[in-house]
Amino acid sequence: MGGKKGRTEGHWRDLANKLAAGGAKPTRGWHPGGEWKTTIDKILKCPETIRRQISNGNGQQTLLSLFNHPNSTSPCTCGWVHGNETTAPNTTTAAAPLRPPKEVDFNILRKPDPRKTVGDVRGIYKVYPQKGCFDLEVFGYTNGKCPHCKSSNIEAKNINPSVKLIYTTGKPRFVQGIGLECQACDGGRWQSYEKTYVDSLSKKQQSELGAVVAGKRNGVDVDIIMQMRVGATASAIARQSLANLTKLHAQWEDEYEENCRIAAERGYDVVERAFPSLEESGLPGFAAKADIITIGLLRDYLSTKDELLRELASLRSEKSMAIDHQRKVVKHAVGNNGASSFTVVGDGGILLGYYVVPDDGEQWLKHAMLEMVQRHGAVLNDDLKTVASQGNLPKVIYVDKMCCGGTEGSRADAVRYFYGMLKKLDVFHLIQRIGKEINCEHPRKGDFLKRLSECIFTLVQEDVDALKQARDSGGYNNLTPKQEKADKLRYVRTKIENPERIVSKILVVVKGQIAIDREAKKQSMMAGDACEDINTAHRAYPLITKKILKCVMQQCIHILNGCVHDEFDMNVLTGQSNYRDTLTALDTYTSQRGSNRVEAWHSVADRKVYAITTMRRSLFDARLLWHVTNYNRQRLRNLGRENVLPDGVAPSEGSRQYRSSFVESTNLLFGFSYYDYVTRTEIEAHLQDTILNAIENDEELELEDVFNDDTVTDEESDYDESEEDGDSDDDDSIFEPVMKSVIPKLVGANELKMLAGILGDDLDWTAPANPCAAEQPLKDDEVQEEIDAHPTFKQLVADADVMAAEAGIDVERHDFKSINAETFEASKKSNSRRNVIKRLQRSSGGKYAPPDFNDCMEKKFKELWFDENKQNPFQGAQIRGWCMYAMGQYEMWRMEEITTAVEEENTMPPLLETNFEAVKAWVLKMKELSSKAQRDGAFNTESALLTSQLNHFTKTSSPSKELDLGKTTSVADLSVTVVTGADPSAVEFPSPTSTTVQQGMEAMLSRKPPPPQTKKRKTAPPPDENFLRRKKVAATVMDKHNITASCATSRRRRCGVCGLLTKDFYFNTEHGISTKEDGVPHLITREMNFCPLADDHSIYYAYKTQKKVVKEEQNRRNYTKSKGS
């Protein structure tokens, strides 16, 4: 023990004995230090010391002394021997043995100290433990190659005096390297842990370092790089690293407290110290940083980019290709400055290329498609459309646009072929063009689009019969529509044939929907609704409008031009499957038709970058190239391919067996590298042409803008959407026959011209005064002029009316035959083709599990659903609010029933607990059932029967011999990789030079990311109780006086309380709707919102009186002011 300078141990021991005996504290020079201070402070606070001081007259009277006799004793808390109570102030007492004090170490690890000599680092990898520090790793191999000249003549010059921090997701790592210098070039010096140099070492030596170090920045552990490769975000990894270090700090704190307890049990006087906080410990400084992680990924991308492109360039397609553009994903890298992605997909959904282009113009695709043609060994003619040698190039390519000129007979060879492949319009995009013109809230939209699809595709009858036989054998006769669709996609082949027959079927469906529209209006008018100026939410709003009819006619032109039908068999046999455990083996197929494979990748890419607000172009390329690589590998595994690398592993990091088929070199460009190339090439070509023209014409140079948006045309914009609406001459009270237009047996150019006008007449059902009519009518001779200009349509060989009659539809007299209502299929509420979750559920083929509602539970919920005092979601109530209300009511009723059963000793009722998801699913089911009749078009008996007939009419199947399918290709026969025949040992992946790395890193880090795209969330205001009360009062008054709100949608003002039009409306509390003299109008101003049906009329009169007084006062002041002047 120690004390102040100049004081001995004996002095402080005597002072302790004096104070313990009750002596007075010295006035000067008694303040101890060190451990003696702790001991003397305990003695002074001891109750026995205080009692002795008071007894000797050296202390103050305290509450403790009032209860203790001067001659009694008090409990000792200091552990010191107090001696004789009459001890004089100068008398000392022998002290008892002291407990040795002890300070327990916190054991917080710190950054290790570097090694001092070259011999401790050179030529080895070793871990040096240090007490109180993290382990130090030394990495000083000298058997690599120079990053500049690739020479092996390397010499170790000096030891690095600092330690490099390596970020990890757990405990941090610290590495010390050695300075190296090449003796064969003047490339300068570098550290032994530099990424460019480490790439030249053996795989064992690379794994020992296990980190990516770029320049002077801290390194990144390979585990973090691997997480970034498979799709993790840098911010998520940084949070994980900090979380693990926080757990490590808590572990150290628990160990410190345990060590303190053990020391106290062993008799030590443990010094109490607060454990350092997380910030004081310094651990947050060792947590991984998101920006350093991103730079580590970019540095790793420079080393792996070439081999990943070689792997991508080794893939090819045999059956077909599909191309499409997407703007959504690229927006994360360029903001709102334009640009979109261009994707090429082959057989099995394998991505063959992913590029960023300025827009969706065809001029930017040349370099990408020429590389694709060269990859497949084909040779094009000079026109770049047809092939001189087909090679392995697929014969068909599916596009989303540019399939033809968009007019009759415009599919010439100049537009029919696309870089040696036959262009076909994807059916998904064809139907989507029609679907996007239909109001998304229309209940019959999904059913109509499904019928269009059924008109286009024809099922193979043998596959349908085999599937039906398998279902019958297993007793699967009550499958849900989703399960039936999943079975059809997997076990039944389809064929698109006979464009003329397809168009005829589509026209019959359109005519049937027009008939249903008119029946819906007729039914509404019979119920008292004038159907004037209706909005899109009205139950009589038509499905087929003028604009939609025109769009359908335009798509029929594409079909008749040969843009859709199959010219080759596009079905692929994938194997056999045991159908739903029935021991019946069915052949499984997949279609290589259409660009739905591109849409699948678009959904995946969108999910991968959804959480990233903004990123640099280089980071976009790095992340997307790894996403594409992992996506293709998963697809290859699904196709049964062997020797496929796991996700996140670079080809150079895997065994040689994996990369035996990779091409040795490629000119494939990816992402923004392609964007930079094509834009630079376009500018250079434009400048060169401008200079040559100026020289030839001896004129001044005039450089125009290369990116002139006016020169980019879209063949899909053949019709104008801003036509003026015309008046209708139809009398709404007289309904002529719905199907008055008869489709002739042979439909040619003149017949199609006639149909456009006649079907347009069928649509003129609106009232004369409709400034906001559903859609605009066709302009006179608009379609006719276009058809007359190209009268090359072949007449249709199928008679649409005959087809309708065969299906039981009488188009002349509405004499529809009855069909069983069970043949109806539920209409989809919305188009779920872009919903990835629903698409995965459909492809899983599992059985649908409904909510666990038994009969007793569902009976109670139905009572709540039909409660007159509570609106249900079908009547406009919010789903979540009603579900919470129903759950509360049900739970209260359930407990009452269970309590009654227990008290009366009856059988326990089957009333189970429920949750929000189960109740919500049941509500959605009830809501769907409530609107099913409207969605199916069952407005009356005639429309219901017509809809039922259309369901049977559009479903078509034919024997395979009539479809000319031939032999279906097996998936095992598809070739998706290019076999080079090279020796696996010869396929190497040399690391890039230091110059390339330096230029690449500078280019990556010099570009500024686009501004972040932030979305402001709007929070809904809390409900106004007074407003809800007024609405309820207004509704009661309207019911009392039989007042109904008009459904007009013009720009006339409505009252927000009662919903009535405010213009020319006056209300009297006794007589209801009144005149201007006897009634009170609405009053909606900035100061007040007065409703005569919900508010007291005295408010209106008081307001008017006040305004009159204010006006009179204002007039008086103006008069006084003008008189004074």
At 167 the pLDDT is: 95
Lowest average pLDDT, out of 87-101, 304-318, 661-675, 828-842, goes to 828-842
Tell me the pLDDT band of 30, cut-offs 50, 70 and 90: low
| Phi, psi (rounded to 5 degrees) for 380 | -95, 155
pLDDT one-digit tens code per residue, 771-813: 333 333 334 443 333 333 333 333 443 445 556 666 666 555 4
Residue 48 CB coordination number (10 Å) = 20
Continuous segment of H or E residues that includes residue 398: strand 396-399
At 342 the pLDDT is: 92
Tracing tokens 């599909």 back to the chain, one arrives at: 322
Tell me the pLDDT band of 628, cut-offs 50, 70 and 90: very high
C-alpha torsion 670→675→678→683, nearest 10: -160
Amino acid sitting at position 820 = N
Query: pTM, whole model, 2 decimals?
Result: 0.65
pLDDT one-digit tens code per residue, 929-973: 777 777 777 667 777 777 777 777 777 777 766 666 666 776 666
Strand, helix or coil for residue 881: helix
Distance CA 308, CA 650 (A): 7
| pLDDT above 90 as % of the chain | 15
pLDDT at residue 685 is higher than 60: yes
Q: Which residues contact 203 (CB under 8 A, 6 or more apart)?
A: 653
Distance CA 156, CA 166 (A): 23
At 1100 the pLDDT is: 87
Distance CA 313, CA 326 (A): 22
Are 199 and 145 in contact by the 8 Å Cβ rule? The answer is no
Enumerate helices (H) and strands (E) in the chain, giving the number of each: 35, 29
At 58 the pLDDT is: 66
At 1059 the pLDDT is: 82
Distance CA 488, CA 467 (A): 8
At 973 the pLDDT is: 66
| Phi, psi (rounded to 5 degrees) for 174 | -130, 125
pLDDT at residue 84 is higher than 80: no
At 288 the pLDDT is: 93
pLDDT one-digit tens code per residue, 247-264: 999 999 999 999 998 888
**Mean pLDDT throughout 530-557?**
83
Give how far Cα 805 sits from Cα of 362, 410, 508, 802, 847, Å. Answer: 45, 33, 10, 5, 38
Q: How many residues does the chain have?
A: 1125
At 1048 the pLDDT is: 53
Distance CA 667, CA 178 (A): 38
Question: Per residue in 807-826, is it b (16+ CB within 10 Å) or e — as a string?
Answer: bbbebeeeebeebeeeebee
Cα 129 to the chain's mean position, in Å? 47
- DSSP-H helix ranges across 591-671: 596-609, 617-638
Cα 495 to the chain's mean position, in Å? 33
Distance CA 535, CA 1047 (A): 8
Structure tokens at 847: 């059985």
Distance CA 584, CA 764 (A): 54
Amino acid sitting at position 537 = A
More reliable by pLDDT, 33 or 888: 888
**Mean pLDDT throughout 699-720?**
36
Q: Which residues contact 906 (CB under 8 A, 6 or more apart)?
A: 900
Distance CA 766, CA 931 (A): 24
- DSSP-H helix ranges across 98-233: 195-198, 203-209, 222-229
pLDDT one-digit tens code per residue, 155-189: 888 888 889 999 999 999 999 999 888 888 876 78
Residue 419 CB coordination number (10 Å) = 21
- Gyration radius from the chain CA atoms: 42
At 81 the pLDDT is: 77
Are 82 and 20 in contact by the 8 Å Cβ rule? The answer is yes
pLDDT at residue 1007 is higher than 70: no
Residue 1080 per-residue DSSP state = B
**Mean pLDDT throughout 61-68?**
45
**Mean pLDDT throughout 1104-1117?**
86
**Mean pLDDT throughout 487-514?**
86
At 243 the pLDDT is: 94
What SS3 string covers 260-275?
HHHHHHCCCEECCCCC
Cα 350 to the chain's mean position, in Å? 21
Please write down the long-range contacts of 576-584, taking CB distance under 8 Å and 24 or more positions apart.
577/490, 577/491, 579/467, 579/470, 579/471, 579/474, 579/491, 580/470, 580/474, 580/476, 580/845, 581/474, 582/470, 582/473, 582/474, 582/476, 584/469, 584/470, 584/473, 584/474
Are 100 and 269 in contact by the 8 Å Cβ rule? The answer is yes
Lowest average pLDDT, out of 165-179, 450-464, 568-582, goes to 568-582
Lowest average pLDDT, out of 72-81, 460-469, 693-702, 907-916, goes to 693-702
More reliable by pLDDT, 623 or 663: 623
- Residue 1078 burial by CB count (10 A; 0-12/13-18/19+): exposed, middle or buried? exposed
Residue 1023 per-residue DSSP state = P
Distance CA 464, CA 955 (A): 12
Distance CA 101, CA 271 (A): 7
* Maximum pairwise Cα distance, the chain: 135
More reliable by pLDDT, 896 or 819: 896
Residue 171 CB coordination number (10 Å) = 13
pLDDT at residue 1115 is higher than 60: yes
Task: Give the CA angle between residues 1066, 1069, 1074 to the nearest 5°.
Answer: 30
At 902 the pLDDT is: 84
pLDDT at residue 273 is higher than 90: no
pLDDT at residue 869 is higher than 60: yes
Most confident of 86-95, 241-250, 640-649, 1068-1077: 241-250
pLDDT one-digit tens code per residue, 1032-1056: 888 888 888 888 776 555 567 788 8
**Mean pLDDT throughout 605-622?**
84
Distance CA 431, CA 403 (A): 15
**Beta pairing, strands 571-578 & 585-591:** antiparallel
**Mean pLDDT throughout 98-118?**
85
At 90 the pLDDT is: 40
Are 647 and 230 in contact by the 8 Å Cβ rule? The answer is yes
**Mean pLDDT throughout 977-986?**
48
Question: Per residue in 645-678, is it b (16+ CB within 10 Å) or e — as a string?
Answer: bebbbbbbbeeeebbbbbbeebebbbbbbbbeeb
Tell me the pLDDT band of 846, cut-offs 50, 70 and 90: very low
**Mean pLDDT throughout 566-593?**
86
pLDDT one-digit tens code per residue, 870-896: 888 877 788 888 888 888 888 888 888
Distance CA 170, CA 985 (A): 37
pLDDT at residue 242 is higher than 90: yes
Nearest to 670 by CA among 134, 308, 917: 308
C-alpha torsion 453→456→462→463, nearest 10: -30
Helix crossing, 35-45 with 47-55: angle to 10°? 60
pLDDT one-digit tens code per residue, 501-536: 888 888 888 888 888 888 888 878 877 778 877 888
Tell me the pLDDT band of 845, cut-offs 50, 70 and 90: very low
Residue 800 CB coordination number (10 Å) = 25
Distance CA 354, CA 340 (A): 11
Average pLDDT, the chain: 76
At 29 the pLDDT is: 62
